[in-house]
Structure 1
Amino acid sequence: MSKVLYPALPVLLVDDEPAWLRSMTISLARHAGINNVVALSDPREVAPFLEEHRVALALIDYTMPHVSGEELLELFGRNYPEVPVIILTGRDQAETAVRCMKLGAFDYYVKTVEDERLLAGIQRALRLGELQQENLRLQEGYMTGELASPEAFSGLITRSDRLLKICKYVEAIAASRQPVLVTGESGTGKELIARILHKLGSPQGPWVAVDVAGLDDDMFADTLFGHVKGAFTGAEQPRKGLVEEAAGGVLFLDEIGSLSQSSQLKLLRLIQDGEYRPVGGDRTRRSEMRIVAATNQDLGRLQETGGLRRDLYYRLRTHHVHLPALRQRPEDIPVLLDFFLGEAAREFHKNKPTPPPELDILLSTYHFPGNVRELRAMVYDAVSTHRTRKLSMDAFKRAMGREEGRELSGMVEAGVEAAQGERVVAFPQELPSIRELTSQLIAEASRRSGGNQSIMAGMLGISRPALNKRLKKLDDEDEF
């Protein structure tokens, strides 16, 4: 596999000292993971090079023969204002620095004595460029109303405007190497979004996924960073960690909210410095992958209560994708139902069944705690037992706990539910009468079910005859 270049556009180095160009090229690769570099020792080559190539950033020596750094800075400001330019000089001169900044330089550094500050400045400039490109892609997406790479989202079945906006954001951040935090309830498709980020951002690189919930501190370090021979008892051979295996691609960390404090610190150092050491090793290695983390926990609340390091939280959510629950996008239920029916029919070698019109209404009344994953399981269960042309709703009612005749056992069962926190009804200060409460409850069930009495009975936990009896009783009372 060919080495993945970072950044996508090259960093341009311009200096009349070949030795410095070689040294800086090595330093950028070793300490910042920047391996896409073009070095020019003759400043006269810059203008023709820029006419043919785009660059992410330019590092320019201030004092050079033929064309000065100040003249090149003016060239960038005039023709390529979107490119950050960092000016380098051999002497610290305040007047020169002020003049360069007025001409539009991103920053100004003295050579040899500010290597760490220079590398940090280069990374800031690249990050700024990434943000500008992300904003541009977002603007273009919202203006056109369409995805630039719809094929990458083929596995995401939706017609929700809310989810479409999220897809546009995913497209905009795909080229970045910054961490992405994907949140949402279980079953909303967090891993699917992570795979789309991989497909869009580094398709030629590997995809490596790990559920960190079951890893203690030692296992976490060994799994991610690997170990050297003899690192511990039984380590007879060195082993690569997932960080090394994911080089040039995506490392997907699922259930990130379950990490211990010690493991959180190790992950923070990896993200912050881009470096790590295998267990038992004494040599630092550079990471060359993108981290995408996912969780169904509320990390904002977790860091407020001390369960998650605040600095790690903000590092992880440099980019944040939050997926809505299925109940928050009910317009997707019919299209997902149709898709899963076709998928399940192919797997069971059956003709695709025709769902009854009432099925959409039934599903729209359910809150889907398991989200898309739960709907898919419902469909597969229904298709597995399907025999006739028209799909039965019995399997769906059974999964939802809506079988006809499954009546509640009175106030005792209702009290148990309330005690467990599953369903608690909020009452006004002045309690309604039993008749008022019954009437309003039936009216709301009728509204949600579209007047379908079978669905109403399932929602209310009573049989059809019992519902009819209550409806007749309300009608009789209204006559008096």
Structure 2
Amino acid sequence: MNHRKLLYPSFKVLIVDDEEPFIRSLSIALERSAGINNIRKCQESRDVMGILSEGGFGLVLLDLNMPYLSGDKLLEQITSEYPEVVVIIISGINQIEPAVRCMKLGAYDYFVKTNEEDRLVRGVNRAIQMVEMAKEHKEIRSRLLHDRLENPDAFEEILTCDKSMRAVFQYLESVAKSSMPILITGESGVGKELFAHTAHRLSGVEGPLVSINVAGLDDNVFSDTLFGHAPGAFTSAHEVRKGMIEQAAHGTLFLDEIGDLSVTSQVKLLRLIQNGEYYPLGSDRPKRMNSRIVVATNQDLDKKQAAGEFRKDLYYRLCAHHVHIPPLRVRRDDIPLLLNHFLGEAAEALGKKRPTYPRELETLLANYPFPGNVRELQAMVYDAVSTHKSKVLSLDSFKRKIGAMTLAPNGPEAETDQQDERIFVSSKSLPSIHDVADLLVSEAMKRADGNQSIASRLIGISQPALSKRLKKQKQGE
């Protein structure tokens, strides 16, 4: 498949120098070492402001000593008229005074024309990342302020009516085009892979999404899977094998379960992200990575860092953009929406007519904490539909799956529980057992939406016993 040349970064970089050989040399170095190819060249200092007026520029690499207009004069004009454009001064003069003067005028950095090409490229990379982050933060603020989505169709696979999820959508849409990695976190079953697919669609890249689950891969398998190998790299390597990085060219490389990656493999991934290049096994010729990276995990990487199981430098690289997906138990309004969707999906897959369900089912599910999140709800629905025979869906299958229910520990109810606890602690005298029992019964009936069958399961007593307590409460009023 042929792809047109993709430009990096997303904004244009203007190189200004009256010496054409230096412009050519620097352009080659930037593209070879860092993949920077969205470059505009200018040898005439008097043309610079006109070029910038075309728009789309984020960085200017500016020679200090040029005919007609000197670099410091241009620097003043650029910072005044285009304050969002970052300027790096590149000079043949290795003196402190000009460097200090340029920094005071607003230059981001100052480099001397020497043979230290790598240092200059690193400096340009830092500036690009700073400009990208500034643009992304501005975009995030704008989207959150106006509560808008530019590409709502990209999220059609993710069913939700929750406000916190909409905020996650807005953030993901703002950072999806970034060249920096995106870290997706959330409990098992919340739909991290769906978010990775959405990030890929929003990114605008032309290549494919290539997914790898790295859990359980030893270092050799990880290297071979990611980097590929040359013939003779090991005994069974008879021909070239393209790694997943090469297969994801001009697209997205998605690494799932990144929290399970061995420390040795973490080092290799860190070098890949830092340098943007890699070596296939058995090869001494490096290849450039031209795909963006998305990673996901259900583990707490902060705890793994503290335990020495996950490298801090890799974590900081990966979490440049962090998307956290809230669990289902804190977005209970999504349960009816997902329930109806999975009912239709299951009925179609199993060749059955879509069943209706009793109103009590939504209440029953709303009081379950769903440790397996959306995936667990989907499995419950499929199991219930597979055994369904009458017109109305039975609650029995769901009750068997849920088992002995307890009060959900999270969500809005948890705050109420904490308030009650504070009342008990601050009270001069503790409430009686009778008062606590009445409070527990009232709370269970509230959460069960008045359904005695569900309320009795919540507090672990039989329905007749609950009914008896409710009658006593009414008599005592």
TM-score, normalisation: structure 2: 0.88
The alpha carbon displacement at 1:431 in A equals 11
Cα pair 1:73 1:105 within 8 Å, conserved: yes
Is residue 172 of structure 2 the alignment partner of residue 170 of structure 1? yes
Q: State whether residues 44 and 66 of structure 1, in contact with CA within 8 Å, keep that contact through their aligned partners in structure 2.
A: yes
- Which of 38, 41, 48 is matched with 2:40 structurally? 38
Name the aligned partner's letter for residue 233 of structure 1: T
SS at structure 1 position matched to 2:333? helix
SS at match of 2:61: strand
Residue 423 of structure 1 corresponds to none
AA aligned to 2:443 is E
2:256 counterpart residue number: 254
Match of 2:402 in 1: 400
Asked whether the 8 Å contact 2:29–2:117 carries over to 1, the reply is no
Matched to 2:122, the amino acid is: A
Residues 79 and 106, structure 2, Cα contact 8 Å, conserved in 1: yes
Q: Matches of 2:93 and 2:317 in 1, distance apart?
A: 35
Aligned match for 2:103, one of 101, 104, 111: 101
Could you say which residue in structure 2 is the equivalent of 1:367?
Answer: 369
Q: Is this contact kept in 1: 2:227–2:243, CA < 8 A?
A: yes
- Residue identity in the other structure for 2:402: M
Distance 2:272 2:328 in 1: 34
CA distance in 1, matches of 2:160, 2:467: 38
Distance 1:238 1:383 in 2: 48
SS at match of 2:14: strand
**Match of 1:31, as an amino acid?**
S
Within the candidate set 9, 16, 21, 1:14 is matched to 16
Question: What is the aligned partner in structure 2 of residue 467 from structure 1?
Answer: 463
CA shift in 2, pair 1:68/1:478, >3 Å? closer
- Which SS does the other structure have where 1:209 is aligned? strand
Question: Identity across aligned pairs (percent)?
Answer: 51
Contact 2:222-2:265 within 8 A present in 1 as well: yes
Alignment partner of 1:59: what SS?
strand
Distance 2:79 2:470 in 1: 79
In structure 2, the CA distance between the partners of 1:371 and 1:58, relative to structure 1 (3 Å rule), is same
The reply to whether residue 219 of structure 1 matches residue 221 of structure 2 is: yes
1:446 aligns with 2:445: yes
**Residue pair 2:49, 2:78 contacting (<8 A) in 1 also:** no
- 2:4 partner SS: coil
Tell me the distance in 2 between the aligned counterparts of 1:395 and 1:235: 51
Question: Contact 1:158–1:332 at 8 Å: present in 2 too?
Answer: yes
Q: 2:159 aligns with which of 140, 157, 160?
A: 157
- Cα separation, 2, equivalents of 1:479 and 1:340: 44
Which residue does the alignment assign to 2:417? Answer: none
Q: Which has the higher mean CA deviation after the structures are superposed, 37-46 or 146-155?
A: 37-46
Q: 1:281-320, aligned counterparts within 5 Å?
A: 281-320=283-322
Equivalent position SS for 1:56: strand
Between the two proteins, the alignment pairs up a number of residues equal to: 454
Deviations 1:239-259 (A, max 9, x none): 111122222221111111111
**Offset at 1:472?**
2.1
Q: CA RMSD in A?
A: 2.5
Q: CA-to-partner distance for each residue in 1:243-286, whole Å, 9 max, x for gaps? A: 22222221111111111121111111112222211111112222
The residue that corresponds to 1:67 in the other structure is 69
The residue type paired with residue 32 of structure 2 is R
Q: Which residue of 1 aligns with 2:199?
A: 197
Cα–Cα, structure 1 residues 350 and 143, in superposed 2: closer, same or farther, change >3 Å?
A: same
Alignment of 1:129-148 (within 5 A): 129-148=131-150
| Alpha-carbon distance in structure 1 between the residues aligned to 2:193 and 2:168 | 14
**Amino acid in structure 1 at the alignment position of 2:263:** Q
Contact 2:452 2:466 in 1 (8 A): no
The offset of 1:388, in angstroms, is 4.2
Which whole-Å CA distance do the structure 1 matches of 2:124 and 2:472 have between them? Answer: 80
Measured in 1, the distance between the counterparts of 2:471 and 2:389 equals 40
Contact 2:181 2:318 in 1 (8 A): yes
In structure 1, what is the Cα distance between the partners aligned to 2:52 and 2:353?
Answer: 59
Looking at structure 1, the residues matched to 376 and 450 of structure 2 have their Cα atoms a distance apart, in angstroms, of: 25
Task: For residue 458 of structure 1, report the CA deviation from its aligned partner.
Answer: 3.7
Tell me which amino acid in the other structure corresponds to 2:449.
Answer: G
Distance, in Å, in 2 between the alignment partners of 1:475 and 1:144 is 52
How much does 1:227 deviate? Answer: 0.9
Q: Work out which of the residue numbers 266, 269, 274 in structure 1 matches 2:268.
A: 266
Do 1:202 and 1:250's aligned partners in 2 also have CA atoms closer than 8 Å? no
Tell me the CA shift for residue 309 of structure 1.
Answer: 1.5
Distance 1:473 1:196 in 2: 51
8 Å CA contact retained: 1:4, 1:205: no
Structure 1 residue 358: Cα displacement: 1.7
Tell me which moved more, 52-61 or 339-348.
Answer: 339-348
Q: Where in structure 2 are there 5+ consecutive unaligned residues?
A: 406-420
Structure 1 residues 476 and 139, CA gap change in structure 2 (3 angstroms) = closer
Amino acid at match of 1:132: A
- Matched to 1:117, the amino acid is R
| Alpha-carbon distance in 1 for matches of 2:71, 2:29 | 22
What TM-score comes out, normalization by structure 1 length?
0.88
| Distance of 1:343 and 1:38 partners within structure 2 | 52
Equivalent-residue separation in structure 2 for 1:352 and 1:392 (angstroms): 13
Contact 2:456/2:466 (<8 A) preserved: no
Which amino acid in the other structure matches residue 455 of structure 1? Answer: I
